Structure 1
Amino acid sequence: MIGQRFRRIGIRIFAKIAILAVVSGPSAVFAQAHGIALYGDPALPADYTHLPQANPDAPRGGTFSDGQVGSFDSLNPHIQQGNTPWQLRFLAYESLLGRAYDEPFTLYGLLADSVTVNDAQTEITFTLHPDAAFSDGTPVTVEDVIWSWNILGQEGANGRYRSAFAKVESVEAVGARGVRFTIPEPDRELLMTLGFRPIMKAAQYADDPSAFFRSGVDNIPITTAPYVIDTVDPGRSVVLKLDDDYWGADLPFRRGTNNIETIRMEFFGDATAHFEAFKAGELSTMRETNAARWARDYDFPAVQSGEVVLSEVPHQRPSGMTGLVMNTRRAPFDDWRVREAMIQAFNFEYVNGVINAGAQPRITSYFSNSPLGMEPGPAQGRVAELLTPLSDTLLPGTLDGYDLPQTDGSAGNRRGLRAASRLLEEAGYTVEGGVLTGPNGPVRFEIMVPQGSSEVASIVDIYVEALKRLGIDARVASIDSAQFTDRQSAYDFDMIWYQWGLSLSPGNEQLAYWGPDGVDTPGTRNLMGADDPAIAAMIDAMLTSDTQEDYVAAVRALDRVLTAGRYVVPIWHNPISWIAHSADLKYPADRLPIYGDWIGFQPDVWWIEE
């Protein structure tokens, strides 16, 4: 019921945005402004005082200790090499514009105090804030912006940045504080996201530019962000301190955020050690993703005494996709029938019962749980119009509707395994002496999972037993975080555990997720190697939409193509985030953003009350 209630709210929000698009028109010209919206105008006026999800009266100070399973060997989240604490990308770097997580399609000025788009919507000019400065006190310059753009477009940088590099014709200085990007054809979403890239200090790498691409923990970045890296214990912890001289402390965009003085990021070898550290009071917060554990394991003494509070934070964001990804670059997963057989063999209802007591809903598509998700049954209206011209190339279920299999929850899953066997036989596989055999001999593949997650291990162990009944020799490889990242980036796997988080404003990043360049280019998120022209066509339709209605239809059509592609064996999602935290750690519960507990929420808008 909660998920349904928030989906309805999300639809109302999208309706408001659609009205703005009609009023302003698809070719609206953005004058020099404090922010930029994909459709219509930013919701906040130029004289806004703070973001709606922030408490401007929040006290400042205290220490926030967060934990995660794994390790790290790098402090640079912008390159392919190494494993970096994920929070650094958001806490230790700033961009020209900042995202307001209560508006899916809007960015506001941060390092740039104004932004201008030309009439043709092929040029965007950012004007740097006159006070913008690095943590060493030196000013942010136009040269720093241009250098950052160029370095992130080079080989070795993260694919999320390189994907847009080829689309920009030129980057040039405009006066003392202006930077202009020019693209060959209108793309409003691309223009916006050009302002959402990290800005770094060019002089830090002037003597050795290649140092930027070398993974390591010795090169402490000089950044513009509210937090600076204070101490590093390689592989174990990183401590961030609030910069007393942070240049943007009085910006409306920052008011009521970054309230905590010290942030500690602690790393643990496994999930058990992580949880025990929280119970012992060594950590400030703990996110739970398992419904059964949330109901069963959070009644320890600190909860009973009130020292630890259990908070449930609803959200309206897409479910994304979490599960076992099949690498279509390799046999046997290059055949959609084999992939469907793998999905049929996964007994979701039984696994969900064992792991979650059956409490969590299944991911039904990439954008499920949101207004962008595909609708059940045959494609209708504008979605059908977009897909029908490609009908000869679409996989079964794309146009006529695709549903994941359901079981009765018993361990046997006879119906699912029979369906899987039929599909494998159609694909040319037979069982000989209890071994599934195909054109390349016995079917053997490796399932690569991250080291330290007992939940993932339990899911995969149950799945492997089901695959044995089909005659498949599936072997589990539990890989440490550094090697896991390296093999993932190189697509060196058969089947891999992965999670895509998707937003309410998908755009050009979808090309990096499942676009054609990711088939061969390492480092993208197209882990499955999807090489379907319908995916690229739907992304193009989304990026060139003139109205909000067309945009939503294009995303729903993309959702259909991806889901019917059968690239992932999906598991569950949480329409509610479960967060256990110290009682003195507060958040603005009366002004939750539509993204809920997401990037920009904790610790960004939290504070500590002694």
Structure 2
Amino acid sequence: MLLMKTGKHLRLLAAALLLPMLANAASSQPRHAIAMHGEPAMPEGFASFPYVNPDAPKGGRRVQGVLGTFDSLNPLIVKGVSVPEMRSYVLEGLMARGYDEPFTLYGLLASTVETDAERSYVTFGLNPAAKFSDGKPVTADDVIFTWQLLRDHGRPNYQTYYSKVVKAEALDDHTVRFDLSGSNDRELPLILGLMPVLPKHATDPATFEDTSFRPLLGSGPYVVQTVDPGHSVTLKRDPNYWGRDLPVNRGYWNFDTIRLDYFRDANSQFEAFKKGLYDIRIETDPGRWVSAYDFPAARDGRVVKDGIRDGLPKGMLGLVFNTRRPLFADIRVRQALMTLFDFEWINTNLFFGQYSRTASYFDGSELSSHGVPASERERALLAPFPDAVTPEILDGTWSPPATDGSGRDRDMLKRAIALLEAAGYTLDGRQLRNQATGAPFRFEIMVTTRDQERLALQYAQNVKRAGITADVRSVDATQYEQRRLTYDFDMIQNRWDESLSPGNEQAFYWGSAAADQDGTRNYMGMKSAAADAMIAALLRAKSRPEFVDAVRALDRVLLSGTYVIPLYHSAEQWIARWTTMHHLDRTALSGFLPETWWTQPGQ
């Protein structure tokens, strides 16, 4: 009996030891998709995404108006002002994003993806049918070549992400494996899945970082047809596109040609739309949205306005303090300048009351910390950094300062001046001065559009009441971008868009290492050990609840640092279109997706 019982126990023990290995083996099988958390929504062999029209007719032309200019066709490098559409229309990633989920990738150039439970490696199985637009096959050597090229010469975010890879190897012509051991980054397999793939035979590393109007050779649905430098780019659908029948592409890429026309200012851009010179307009001016769509084509129904709701965080649009400047190094100064921003007056008088005040870097989503007390898990994450989060932000009671809307709120002015006095400034008549040096409090707001200029001029009036001089400097788009990339400014207006699955890019936005590296999006120059730790926590999170808590904790750290003056957001995406352009009423979680629109034959 004892022997039988012992044997049974040994068998149970052996089974218990074997289960984790079996589970790990099961999770390490090649699959059609990979989700950041949980399981992919679309099963293997799915026909198309639910937010597309798989029977959309092919043909016609779409013209899109773009504000600004460009001097490069390479979106993968720091130099120049590029055409971002090159990234998805001409180039392709190993996998394609499903836009109805927080972060899930499905097969594109790679038909399969494999990783283990710890995500210590990722293996991509390339689709043997995948070809570049010159007809040459896409191989594992091309993937490794691109990884090395972008790691060494790409934009800083590529260099940061791809440097985490220990080793890349081609197992055969159609299989590439990345060793990620030690990275502790559960998002990295997905980041690599989004990597664009360039042809080794047609890409010169020696000239890759040079700005050029010569287009990169890609494997995507379009090729560059014509370029009018700085003014327009025309893309032509590749009739031999290898991936047109893949599930991820059904209902996408419906126009034969796509032309991007660039405009130097917002007024000329809008006038061109009214004349029918381009087809789809993303509206950003609430006043124009409310009152300017009263031209003949809008009155007779040839132009319609769509308010498209999405499920994404609203992002952070803000006036950014460059804390590399000594003037903005003291948080009390930044708090005072935020207190002086009169959103209530500005929203009513400039924006027709169309905006809501932004109170979180992830406003409008479950990731926002606004109005939500910190959970026990959040508090545990933040415990090593007791001074990183203010009590009001920790308990969810904080909101941005609100005025009485009169434009002359004396209580807000008194609060701001008290903060400035505590930081070492004093009013000398109508001029605020540094008590120690006597230097006047003066800074510059750099702008590049009329909308930015209008807001900056109004804000300059707000701060003038406290004896502060804010000079508004307008520069062209190229100079603005170059100065922004090198942090050569005092204050700018900037927008950080966020997804429901923030990840590695957060280090590029807020990480300490990014503060001293040109070309990142850490425009404020923040260096916070707490923010670095929260970014690491969200990257290692294995479950959605654990992830949400880490992001909320990061949100609290960012808000507590007062690195920006939060501005505002709209509950909808404002899209105007000529009725020759069609889309499904059902939209993706991400909202506006022009890649899925179409036109009827003959229109």
Q: TM-score range by the shorter chain?
A: over 0.9
- Quick one: structure 1 residues 27 and 305, their matched pair in 2 at CA, closer, same or farther if it must change by over 3 Å? farther
Q: Does 1:416 align with 2:407?
A: no
Is this contact kept in 1: 2:52–2:252, CA < 8 A? yes
Q: Does 1:469 align with 2:465?
A: yes
Q: How does 1:83-98 map to 2 (within 5 A)?
A: 83-98=81-96
Is this contact kept in 1: 2:339–2:412, CA < 8 A? yes
Aligned with residue 314 of structure 1, among 301, 309, 314 = 309
Q: Does 1:608 align with 2:599?
A: yes
Is this contact kept in 2: 1:449–1:477, CA < 8 A? yes
SS in structure 2 at match of 1:68: strand
Partner of 1:580: 576
Q: Does 1:181 align with 2:172?
A: no
Which letter does structure 1 place at the counterpart of 2:488? D
Aligned with residue 498 of structure 2, among 494, 497, 502 = 502
Q: Does 1:540 align with 2:531?
A: no
Structure 1 residue 119, shift from structure 2 partner = 4.7
Is this contact kept in 2: 1:315–1:596, CA < 8 A? yes
Which letter does structure 2 place at the counterpart of 1:566? T
Is this contact kept in 2: 1:316–1:594, CA < 8 A? yes
- Quick one: structure 1 residues 35 and 303, their matched pair in 2 at CA, closer, same or farther if it must change by over 3 Å? same
Which letter does structure 2 place at the counterpart of 1:504? L
Structure 1 residue 39, shift from structure 2 partner = 2.0
SS in structure 1 at match of 2:159: helix
Which letter does structure 1 place at the counterpart of 2:209? F
Partner of 1:195: 193
Q: Does 1:164 align with 2:161?
A: yes
CA–CA separation in structure 2 for the residues paired with 1:43 and 1:167: 28
Q: How does 1:151-550 map to 2 (within 5 A)?
A: 151-155=149-153, 157-185=154-182, 186-206=184-204, 209-217=205-213, 219-376=214-371, 378-395=373-390, 397-401=392-396, 402-438=398-434, 439=436, 441-450=439-448, 453-550=449-546
SS in structure 2 at match of 1:492: coil
Which digits, 9 at most, give the CA deviation of each residue in 1:50-70, with x for residues without a partner?
111111000011111111111
CA–CA separation in structure 2 for the residues paired with 1:359 and 1:412: 21
Structure 1 residue 142, shift from structure 2 partner = 1.2
CA–CA separation in structure 1 for the residues paired with 2:152 and 2:511: 19
Which letter does structure 1 place at the counterpart of 2:539? L
Which digits, 9 at most, give the CA deviation of each residue in 1:519-545, with x for residues without a partner?
101111111111011111111111111
Partner of 1:16: none
Partner of 1:129: 127
Structure 1 residue 334, shift from structure 2 partner = 1.1
Structure 1 residue 335, shift from structure 2 partner = 1.1
CA–CA separation in structure 1 for the residues paired with 2:129 and 2:550: 41
Which digits, 9 at most, give the CA deviation of each residue in 1:390-418, with x for residues without a partner?
11344564424432001111111322222
- Which deviates more from structure 2 when the two are superposed, residues 160-169 or residues 362-371? 160-169
In structure 2, stretches of 5+ residues that fail to align are 1-21
Which letter does structure 2 place at the counterpart of 1:407? T
Structure 1 residue 93, shift from structure 2 partner = 1.4
CA–CA separation in structure 1 for the residues paired with 2:545 and 2:170: 37
CA–CA separation in structure 2 for the residues paired with 1:175 and 1:145: 12
Identity of aligned residues (%): 43
- Quick one: structure 1 residues 431 and 396, their matched pair in 2 at CA, closer, same or farther if it must change by over 3 Å? farther
How big is the alpha-carbon RMSD for the aligned residues of Structure 1 and Structure 2?
1.8
Q: Does 1:144 align with 2:155?
A: no
Is this contact kept in 1: 2:317–2:494, CA < 8 A? yes
Structure 1 residue 272, shift from structure 2 partner = 0.3
Aligned with residue 115 of structure 1, among 113, 116, 131 = 113
Structure 1 residue 389, shift from structure 2 partner = 3.0
Structure 1 residue 86, shift from structure 2 partner = 2.4
TM-score (norm 1): 0.92
Partner of 1:594: 589
Which letter does structure 1 place at the counterpart of 2:481? T
CA–CA separation in structure 2 for the residues paired with 1:467 and 1:540: 37
Is this contact kept in 1: 2:583–2:597, CA < 8 A? yes
CA–CA separation in structure 1 for the residues paired with 2:359 and 2:24: 32
TM-score (norm 2): 0.93
Which digits, 9 at most, give the CA deviation of each residue in 1:344-384, with x for residues without a partner?
01101111112211121111110011111114164233222
CA–CA separation in structure 2 for the residues paired with 1:284 and 1:527: 34
Count how many residue pairs are aligned between Structure 1 and Structure 2.
576
CA–CA separation in structure 1 for the residues paired with 2:224 and 2:372: 51
In structure 1, stretches of 5+ residues that fail to align are 1-23
Which digits, 9 at most, give the CA deviation of each residue in 1:574-608, with x for residues without a partner?
2211111011100111x3111112xxx11x11000
Which digits, 9 at most, give the CA deviation of each residue in 1:290-343, with x for residues without a partner?
333212111211011121121111111111111211011112111111111111
- Quick one: structure 1 residues 27 and 91, their matched pair in 2 at CA, closer, same or farther if it must change by over 3 Å? same
CA–CA separation in structure 2 for the residues paired with 1:86 and 1:331: 34
SS in structure 1 at match of 2:52: coil
Is this contact kept in 2: 1:397–1:564, CA < 8 A? no
